[in-house]
Amino acid sequence: MKIVHAGEISVGVYNLNGELFAIEDRCSHDNGPLAEGDFDPEEGYAVCPRHGARIDIRTGKALSLPAVFPVETFPVVVEDGIVKVEL
Ligand code: FES
């Protein structure tokens, strides 16, 4: 996982068994720094470091309270070995 910044937007880019996914680095519960928390590569979710909500990195869907809303996801492509996130 790597956090990248583009202007005021921060995005967590995750490698899930060789497939790349990008989600906003902002928890939908209370704006916690989502990508700074743990990542479960077996189940494919990020754990918000602030209050522990689990977010599916593939869909952005909130899997557990206290988050109930999804976070934004972004398409990821690899071109000539460069990872690009479409914002
Ligand atoms: S800010 Fe993420 S669970 Fe509360």
- Asked whether 54 lines ligand 1 (CB < 6 A), one says no
Q: Give residue 69 CA to ligand 1 midpoint distance, Å.
A: 11
| pLDDT tens by residue, 42-78 | 999 999 999 999 999 999 999 999 999 999 999 999 9
- pLDDT interval class at 40 (50, 70, 90): very high
- Asked whether 46 lines ligand 1 (CB < 6 A), one says no
What is the rounded radius of gyration, in angstroms, for the C-alpha atoms of the chain?
12
pLDDT value, residue 34: 97
- Asked whether 67 lines ligand 1 (CB < 6 A), one says yes
- Does 2.60.40.1150 match the CATH number of domain 2-75? no
Q: Where are the beta strands (DSSP E) in the chain?
A: 2-6, 9-16, 19-24, 39-40, 45-47, 54-56, 73-74, 76-79, 82-85
pLDDT value, residue 82: 96
pLDDT value, residue 73: 98
Judge if pTM exceeds 0.85: yes
- Asked whether 49 lines ligand 1 (CB < 6 A), one says no
Q: Give residue 49 CA to ligand 1 midpoint distance, Å.
A: 7
| pLDDT tens by residue, 25-38 | 999 999 999 999 99
